[in-house]
Amino acid sequence: MTDLSTTIAGVRFPSCFMNAAGALCVTREELVALGQSGSGAIVTKSMTVEPRQGNPEPRYYGFPGGSINSMGLPNLGYKAYAELIPDLKRFGKPVIASVAGLCEDDFPIIAAVINAAQPDLIEVNLSCPNIPGKPQIGYDPETSERVIKRVRSLITVPMGLKLPPYFDPAHHEVMGKVIGRHGVDFLNMINSVGNGLVVDPEREAVVIKPKGGFGGLGGRIIKPVALANVRAFYKLFQGKIPIIGTGGVVDGMDAFEHVLCGASAVQIGTVLVEEGLGSFDRLNNELTAVLARKGYRSLAECLGTVREL
Ligand code: HRO
């Protein structure tokens, strides 16, 4: 029998697949539907202090290679999620609360109240690319360190960071040092590849409205960037900080590649939005088949074992 269950920071997940924050996880109805689906966890939309409508539409566009979005953090506000979390735990799978903020002071306000609601894990989003005029925190090591420090002292459930993609080993190292100083329990990478631009040549126009068409790229086209970041941080921490791999997972083989690079679990965004909740059963079946064909009985047997030449 092939086992797709996994453990992150001591928390058991019945399947290694789950939604990425942002994908079908804003409303109560969407979160309950994730609970009833084949997802191995329920991940909330990144939350802010106040409820938000988000950026003007169109703000998401799917194309054959992936997607571009500039949602602008539409969410119910942290108080609503704090009330929902205890009920979401009835599905027998972990609940991960994704915490964001529009400024540094927002993070501890949200972290304290959400921690009291006792999700199974908290993910601190340092990498939203889509708030006009606000750079991604994860690209500034000093700001990242201040935010991590402030929430670390408030969070008692396993605490992770959602990181942006980095494109140079020097940046992996700098962030690795920051992360290593503060007892981070898990990492999730990558968020969307920020500030890409997709053009429709027929209409001679950009495809989303906010920020002149600039937005975060997801889906198939970002897989090599995601794998590189998973691998880089897996090696930096010698596998001691569990990693959730996110980016470019469309089928079971993509997930297998993430596991080989060092991901203990895998999140899906674009494919979930495009295909719906049935994608979890398909991915569970496909990864099971890949592992069985290769003679692996569990993810642990091939975690981080990609061969270097
Ligand atoms: O809401 C968004 O625009 C958004 C967020 Cl917070 C994020 O972290 N990543 C993304 O691609 N979009």
Q: Which atom of ligand 1 is nearest to the CA of 128?
A: 8
Percent of the chain exceeding pLDDT 70 equals 100
Residues in the ligand 1 pocket, defined by CB under 6 Å: 22, 46, 69-73, 100, 125, 127-130, 191-192, 216
Active site residues: 128
Distance 74 CA to ligand 1 centre (A): 9
Domain membership flag for residue 124: yes
Domain membership flag for residue 59: yes
Question: Mutation test of ligand 1: which of 71, 225, 273 has the most ligand atoms closer than 8 Å to its C-beta?
Answer: 71
Domain membership flag for residue 200: yes
Domain membership flag for residue 249: yes
Does this model's pTM top 0.85? My answer is yes
Residue 82 binned pLDDT confidence (cut-offs 50, 70, 90): very high
* pLDDT, average across residues 204-226: 98
Q: How far apart are CA 8 and CA 188, in angstroms?
A: 11
Contacts of 274 (CB under 8 A, 6+ apart): 62, 67
Domain membership flag for residue 92: yes
Residue 286 binned pLDDT confidence (cut-offs 50, 70, 90): very high
Amino acid at 11: V
Domain that holds residue 30: 6-301
Domain membership flag for residue 308: no
**Could you tell me which residue, 134 or 121, shows the higher pLDDT?**
121
Residue 126: its pLDDT value, please? 98
DSSP 31: H
Domain membership flag for residue 307: no
Q: How many domains does the chain have?
A: 1
Domain membership flag for residue 1: no
CATH of residue 119's domain is 3.20.20.70
Residue 132 binned pLDDT confidence (cut-offs 50, 70, 90): confident
Residue 1 binned pLDDT confidence (cut-offs 50, 70, 90): confident
9: left (phi over 0), alpha (psi -120 to 50) or beta: left
